[in-house]
Amino acid sequence: MTSYDAVILDVDGTIVRGERLIPGAVEGLTAIGDADCDRLLFSNNPTRGAAHYGERLSVHDIAVDPHYVLTSATVSAEYLSRTHPDDAVFLVGERRLRNVLEGASLTVTDDPEAADVVLGSIDRDLSYDDLQRALVALEAADAFYGTDPDVTIPTEGGMSPGSGAIIASLEAIAGQSVDAILGKPSSIAADAALERLGSEPERTLIVGDRLNTDVELGRRAGMGTALVTTGVMGRDDLADVEEEPTYVLDSLAELEGVLAGGR
């Protein structure tokens, strides 16, 4: 019997690369079902909600229950709804993230002086004037959060700046660090995933292509961890790691052996 009741899967670099299905992904998903494990998809993409992944993977004949999909956008919205339900959020981020926040009944303000909370995220149209307004918001706000720490993200044209680059800029101009990152690898993200799955951390395996987000979330939470080398990081990146992941996989297809053999 497998040692796991549930598997958390990253999406980009783990299941798909751009719009292409990664070889071995279907076999890995099948192995999760065959092992009778629950499955949750967790992307650090801060510009998409759960429904996007059902649509994106359906073209590959992969069925996705939106209830079992989390993103750094949805986790951020849920956290702010719970901790700052009546506060005005000043967003340094993109329209699709704003839609997710407003869909969670949060107030998103364009007035930096009215900001109670500042949320930093990827913004591919960020300008100098935007940073000036963000500085005013950071001076007015009582709380400062980031959606995710990914400094770079893979795109069809290569690596591009991600949320972490924007958040670092905000920290620099404000002279302060974020109060918390809300997506992976935070405890906030881990708690959201475990609550959604209803599983215990020691009976949960997280699989992803980043050591600093996917594997680090699992390490902090006490989960089993697996680095899959089909995305951003590979075996060479393990050289300077103090604590290696529980497993290193060349593709999701190798989950069959992991789940069949336990730890």
* pLDDT less than 50: residues of the chain: 263
pTM above 0.85, yes or no: yes
User: What pLDDT, on the 0 to 100 scale, is given for residue 263?
Assistant: 42
User: What pLDDT, on the 0 to 100 scale, is given for residue 158?
Assistant: 76
pLDDT, tens digit, for every residue of 241-250? Answer: 888 999 999 9
User: What pLDDT, on the 0 to 100 scale, is given for residue 2?
Assistant: 65
Q: Can you give the three-state secondary structure of the chain, one letter per residue?
A: CCCCCEEEECCECCCEECCEECCCHHHHHHHHHHCCCEEEEEECCCCCCHHHHHHHHHCCCCCCCHHHEEEHHHHHHHHHHHHCCCCEEEEECCHHHHHHHHHCCCEECCCHHHCCEEEECCCCCCCHHHHHHHHHHHHHCCEEEECCCCCEEEECCEEEECHHHHHHHHHHHHCCCCCEECCCCCHHHHHHHHHHHCCCHHHEEEEECCHHHHHHHHHHHCCEEEEECCCCCCHHHHCCCCCCCCEEECCHHHHHHHHHHCC
User: What pLDDT, on the 0 to 100 scale, is given for residue 217?
Assistant: 98
pLDDT, tens digit, for every residue of 180-225? Answer: 999 999 999 999 999 999 999 999 999 999 999 999 999 999 999 9
User: What pLDDT, on the 0 to 100 scale, is given for residue 47?
Assistant: 95
